[in-house]
Amino acid sequence: MATAFVINSPFAQTPVSVIPANFDFHSHSTVSDGLLAPHDVARRAAANGVDFWALTDHDDLGGLAEARQVAEEAGMRFVNGVEISIEWKGIPIHVVGLGFDHLHTGLSGGLDALRIGRIERARRMGDALAAIGIPGVYEGALCYAANPSLISRAHFARYLVSIGIARDVPGVFQHYLTPGKPGYVDHRWATLTEAVGWITAAGGVAVVAHPGRYKMSGGEMRKFLDEFKEIGGQGIEVTCGSHSPDHVLHFARLARHYAFHASRGSDFHGPEESYVDLGKLPQLPEDLKPVWRLIR
Ligand code: AMP
Ligand code: MN
Ligand code: MN
Ligand code: MN
């Protein structure tokens, strides 16, 4: 049984003094491509028994103040989070940042530029779909984006389902929105160095999101993790919504090998669009160092 210890946090109103029983450091709200507003995600996390929570919207910090207030009112500890879209050797990858100062202009300015790129990409996606006879999809997708500067493929998918192009969101991704399909366009996201640099300059911890989802060989993954560690990355998601039990074993081994701290996150997007609900996922393997220990 681990002993409790105290970490004083400049970004939390109360000192952290209790070991969390159920931490969930990966979730989305309507500030990106989630289906619930930040206050509703906070209340749902608390109702599900989450006691230490991060909202990690894609490329945007706009939900953090509301999420923190409602989380703390509901008795949870809260940590600032973000999920940054990067491209590494042509592969789209997500890096989660945790426990940063959300007012740091290096981080917020980098994310501003990423969002401008998203709008331009979305217009090209609309053009690509128009070219195969489905017009007006950019405008239609915008109606599904509460935050238009954070337009995502998920908003395109929801609109395409609404006009009967496919039965459900995974079906739209499979046939229209993944590499090689007609609505997919290449895009320059942030670099690995930029994303990790923004997070660490803002005092945060960089974590590789859902590593089991990337189309990479074992050798490529090790090269990626070598670089990630070299530039200051400290964590990896081991238990997450999209990981099978085999993924958990595999990435637990890599976490030990690289001496990374391990994270746990549902990647909740909404009641109907998630692998698992907030906080409803297995605990980390016991010998791993949980990433919440790094949150100051
Ligand atoms: P984007 O950041 O605009 O490229 O959109 C990526 C988002 O789309 C992810 O964060 C997921 O929310 C969603 N997504 C990606 N792949 C799939 C899929 N195969 N099925 C359902 N949703 C997906
Ligand atoms: Mn998403
Ligand atoms: Mn992701
Ligand atoms: Mn996510």
What is the rounded average pLDDT for all residues in the chain?
A: 94
Please indicate whether residue 115, judged by its CB atom, sits closer than 6 Å to ligand 1. Answer: no
Give the type of residue at 285. Answer: P
CATH number where 285 lies: 3.20.20.140
Does the residue 181 lie in any domain?
A: no
> What is the per-residue burial (b if ≥16 Cβ within 10 Å, else e) of 134-143?
beebbebbbe
Residue 176 belongs to some domain of the structure: no
Distance CA 112, CA 175 (A): 30
Query: Which residue pairs, CB below 8 angstroms and at least 24 apart, start in 182-185?
Result: 182/128, 182/129, 182/131, 182/132, 183/125, 183/128, 183/129, 183/137, 183/156, 184/125, 184/128, 185/121, 185/124, 185/125, 185/128
pLDDT at 5 over 50: no
- What pLDDT was estimated at residue 1? 32
Residue 196 lies in a domain: no
For residue 9, tell me if it sits in a domain: yes
Task: Please state, in angstroms and rounded to a whole number, the distance separating the CA atoms of residues 115 and 97.
Answer: 17
Distance CA 250, CA 280 (A): 21
Looking at residue 3, what is its pLDDT? 34
pLDDT in tens, 111-129: 999 999 999 999 999 999 9
Note whether residue 273 is domain-resident.
yes
Confidence label for 12 from pLDDT (cuts 50, 70 and 90) = very low
Whether 190 is covered by a domain: the verdict is no
Measured from the CA of 154, which atom of ligand 1 is nearest? 8
Q: How many domains are there within the chain?
A: 1
Q: Which residue's CA is minimally distant from atom 13 of ligand 1?
A: 154
Write out pLDDT tens, residues 207-253.
999 999 999 999 999 999 999 999 999 999 999 999 999 999 999 99
Residue 81 resides in a domain: yes
Q: What is the pLDDT of residues 130-185, one digit of tens each?
A: 999 999 999 999 999 999 999 999 999 999 999 999 999 999 999 999 999 999 99
What does pTM read for this prediction?
0.94
The range of the structural domain enclosing residue 217 comes to 5-100+207-223+234-294
Q: Candidates 87, 151, 153, 169: which one to mutate for ligand 1, based on the most atoms within 8 Å of Cβ?
A: 153
